[in-house]
Amino acid sequence: MKRLDGAPKSIEPDWVWADAYRRAVESHSIVSITNRRGVIIYANDRFVEISGYSRDELVGADHSILNSGHHDAFFFKRLWQTIASGKNWTGEICNRAKDGSHYWVHTDIVPLSGTDETIDGYISVRRDITARKRTERELRRSEAFLRHVADVSGVGGWALDLQRQELYWSKHTKLIHEVEPDYKPELATAIDFYAPEARAAINHAVETAIDTGESWDLELPLITAKGNQIWVRAVGQPLIESGQTVSLIGAFQNITDRKVAEDVLRDEVASRHSAEQLLRDVLETIPDAVAAYDKEDRLIVCNSGYLETYAASRDAIRPGATFESILRHGLARGQYADVGADPEAQEAWLRDRLAQHREPPDQVVQRLRDGTWLQIREHKSGTGATVGVRTDVTSIKRAETQLRRYAEEDRLTQLMNRARFSADLDALLMRGLEPDTSQYSCLALFDIDHFKPINDAYGHDAGDEVLKAVGSRVRTILGPQDFAARLGGDEFVFVLQGYPSQAVCEARVAALFAAMEEPIAAGPTTVSVTLSLGLTKLRGMGQTTRMALKEADRAQYRAKEGGRAHWRWYEEADRLAEERDERLRRQLGSALTARDGVTFALQPIRSTADGGMIGFSGEMAWRHDGTDLDTRALLALGARANLTGDLCTRKLDVLLGQIGAHQARGIACGLIWLTMSAEQLRLGKLASKLLARASANHIDVSKLIIAVEESAFLERSSSAVESALKTIGDAGMALGIDGFGSAGVSLGVLKQLGVRAVRISPSRLANGLSGSDESGAAHRQVVAAAVAAAQAMDIAVFCADLSTCEEADMVSALGVTGLQGPCHRPTTCRSRPNRVSQPRSCRQARQHGAGDA
């Protein structure tokens, strides 16, 4: 050891100093030494004392004997990585003593290296910080308690940082000032809220606090941001550092009710002879229940409203009676709700109410057995009297309940609305579902088959009766944990949760379908309805509400494709189909952008009378990766891919451009049939786009037949489709219906819209039109019925997708105006290749004969 200048010449050896240092450290610290594997080889007395283990129990063990479970494995992994690398580690650890109690230590761990710099072991020096940790925990609990007290009491807080000149208001302080929650108070303008006569007093209080460190407690008039005049209690306290005030903090409370009550009492004292009668007169004019008790809690006076409010306690309410005796009288007669029948619970309630009365909070809400809700405001006057006002807030409470119902409930069916359902399903999926296979949950989505025709035939009142009946029948199959909603229109959804198996859930769904077999009274008639329903399993974490609804919707779509009136589960094949559709949607977007891949062609429409060409229909096709999509499939895919607008623009540009080019070469094209999707019609401004492109290509708009799939009239947005078609008809274009007879739309809709032509497709109505069996005959009857319906309204009928000449002959015999398809009679098709026949209405056909063109 190097001797310092001035030190004694005889210096003790180094080990003497080291031993003295060790004893000094060990007298206050918890010391242990381990080998490099973490096995304890030395434990001092403080270690033995705090852990409760004997030295023999500690030596030979590792520190896991003290593991409290408070820290995770990653905590200890990082600790060992640090010290194993030769670095010191410092931190706080919660250990468990032998008796199971927990204690905290501040720990320093130092690696012990040998001459070759390899780590031979570790020395740990700890300091007991359990008391400090307990203090920190109590401080956090106290802070939370103070925040809770502020919320319950309605007392606002404020703080002023003098150095930064920043002013802070708590939530309740802003409520008292009647400013918006995001209001930022400014020091220069905060004083303006006080009434003019009070500003000097508050200014003086603030300045005095800054200069002398003196607190203040003032009651002052204040004018809120909304112009309301109130009384507030303003309390301020300076915070001083190094003899200088650095900030001010305080509380803020609305004491208007107390000031009013005190004024009443002050008037009573000032007018000694008439005070009692005056007070009674004042009290009787107040519609609320008012009572005053002296400092001994004996009744001084009350109004008749107080007697009427507490009718069960009327016999006990008399001057001189204690508040407790009146309370017990009503309690014994069941006057108060939410008390319970258990004597101990009643006594606990009584103690709480007496405590509130002796130390009144800002307000108390009380419910009586007759359903009345009271807001109780009590305060202590300067003489120690307690003045209380009970306001009947039953109507407000009922309004709150009603508003809550409106916010969360479908008013027609009393099921949940979409927002409440989504919130509940979000919560269910967020907290996760039990992985236990004995717990099975699922979501079901359904709508009513052909609901729109019910509204059309019987009116919306009848439709509402159907919706209410369906909602009622859904409730009958729900269990205690299940919930259901009406999403809108005729679309419903419900969740079945916690069932033993999928089969049990299916039994519930089957019960709903069985319940729907009972006819529903709908206005002047009864109707029978069926459902198309899709099911998907709820899997918990990782599955969202949107995903679950989308999966159920996919399954429901398959149920509809299968003929409606049944249900389907979402399956792996559905997921694969969605992935395939997603690929197709992306590829369709690319194909439209690159302007290749999708083909647009004009398909001739031939007259059944003479084989002449009536006109053309604009068709689309796309073959990609072995998948063939025709016009109808492309319109549907475009809608799902949000490419409706792009597809529509491209279709009009190409097809009307082709017609214009033909006309420029002197080729008469006749009628032009263009099928548009419901989505294209809903885009808006379609009529103006058609007029613009027709004008650019010199096409007579009266030759355009703008058609929509018949199924569009069964969709929920059919009113928008009808409105768009009317706009197109008003622009001078003819209206058509594609897929006529496939959706059962009423003839009244066609007549109202002014439809001039329809197109049927035997392959879509039913396959096997030319079959000789009963099925073929039935199919022909379907086509005949569709043609007859159109003929009755003098509407031209075209037939598309004819696959055989036999089908063409059969359809021609039914009075169809024109034919489309790969099969035409060769002699007929070639006889007049350039002739364009004018389409005849059904009435003309009947008057002039089938051969008159």
CB atoms within 10 A of CB 162: 15
CB 702 within 8 A of CB 734: yes
CB atoms within 10 A of CB 733: 23
In whole angstroms, what is the distance from residue 475 CA to residue 498 CA?
17
- Residue 284's alpha-carbon distances to 257, 288, 312, 496, in angstroms, are 17, 9, 20, 57
447 SS3 class: strand
Given a cut of 90, whether residue 323 has pLDDT beyond it is: yes
Predicted local confidence at residue 778, as pLDDT: 65
Given a cut of 60, whether residue 186 has pLDDT beyond it is: yes
Given a cut of 90, whether residue 506 has pLDDT beyond it is: yes
For residue 381, give both structure tokens.
């006057």
Report which DSSP code applies to 88: -
Lowest mean pLDDT among 239-253, 350-364, 366-380, 781-795: 781-795
HSE, side-chain direction, 13 A CA sphere, residue 848:
10
433 SS3 class: coil
Residue 709, phi then psi, degrees to nearest 5: -60, 140
In whole angstroms, what is the distance from residue 104 CA to residue 134 CA?
9
Q: Is 258 exposed, middle or buried (0-12, 13-18, 19+ CB in 10 A)?
A: buried
In whole angstroms, what is the distance from residue 376 CA to residue 392 CA?
9
Report which DSSP code applies to 211: H
Range from 469-478, 719-728, 738-747, 830-839 that averages highest in pLDDT: 469-478
In whole angstroms, what is the distance from residue 776 CA to residue 765 CA?
12
Angle between the 323-332 and 343-358 helix axes, to the nearest 10 degrees? 150
In whole angstroms, what is the distance from residue 837 CA to residue 613 CA?
6
Go through the chain and tell me how many residues it has. Answer: 853
Mean of per-residue pLDDT scores for the chain = 82
Q: Which pTM was predicted?
A: 0.43
Phi-psi sector, 539: left (phi>0), alpha (psi -120 to 50), beta: alpha
Q: List the alpha helices (DSSP H) in 333-436.
A: 343-358, 394-408, 418-431
In whole angstroms, what is the distance from residue 846 CA to residue 654 CA?
37
Report which DSSP code applies to 33: E
Lowest mean pLDDT among 107-116, 122-131, 273-282, 564-573: 273-282
Predicted local confidence at residue 224, as pLDDT: 95
Share of the chain above pLDDT 70, in %: 84
- Least Cα distance to 710 among 454, 453, 447 occurs for 453
Lowest mean pLDDT among 148-162, 283-297, 378-392, 766-780: 766-780
> Residue 767 — very low, low, confident or very high, per pLDDT cuts 50/70/90?
very low
In whole angstroms, what is the distance from residue 696 CA to residue 694 CA?
5
- Least Cα distance to 89 among 100, 81, 99 occurs for 81
CB 725 within 8 A of CB 703: no
Predicted local confidence at residue 549, as pLDDT: 93
> Residue 153 — very low, low, confident or very high, per pLDDT cuts 50/70/90?
low
Predicted local confidence at residue 766, as pLDDT: 41
Q: Which residues are CB-contacts of 444 (< 8 A; sequence separation ≥ 6)?
A: 493, 494, 495, 496, 509, 533, 534, 535, 552, 567
> Residue 273 — very low, low, confident or very high, per pLDDT cuts 50/70/90?
low
CB 818 within 8 A of CB 608: yes
| Cα Rg of the chain (Å, integer) | 44
> Residue 770 — very low, low, confident or very high, per pLDDT cuts 50/70/90?
low
Given a cut of 60, whether residue 640 has pLDDT beyond it is: yes
Residue 29, phi then psi, degrees to nearest 5: -120, 165
Which tens digits make up the pLDDT trace of 435-458? 555 688 999 999 998 887 787 778
Report which DSSP code applies to 803: -
For residue 705, give both structure tokens.
């037949």
Which tens digits make up the pLDDT trace of 647-659? 888 888 888 898 9
> Side chain identity at 153, as an amino acid letter?
S
522 SS3 class: strand
Indicate the helix (H) or strand (E) that contains 217. Answer: strand 216-223
Residue 541, phi then psi, degrees to nearest 5: -55, 140
Which tens digits make up the pLDDT trace of 345-383? 889 999 999 998 888 888 888 899 888 999 999 988 888
For residue 84, give both structure tokens.
């194993």
Task: Work out the average pLDDT over 694-720.
Answer: 82
Q: Which residues are CB-contacts of 719 (< 8 A; sequence separation ≥ 6)?
A: none
Which tens digits make up the pLDDT trace of 602-638? 889 888 888 888 899 888 888 777 777 788 778 877 7
Own/partner long-range contacts of 192-201 (Cβ < 8 Å, ≥24 apart) = 193/222, 193/223, 193/224, 193/225, 194/220, 194/221, 194/222, 194/223, 195/220, 195/221, 195/222, 195/223, 195/229, 197/221, 198/222
- Residue 27's alpha-carbon distances to 19, 40, 127, 287, in angstroms, are 12, 19, 11, 75
Predicted local confidence at residue 765, as pLDDT: 47
Report which DSSP code applies to 336: B
Sheet holding 216-223, edge to edge: 166-169, 156-161, 244-254, 229-241, 216-223
Predicted local confidence at residue 274, as pLDDT: 64
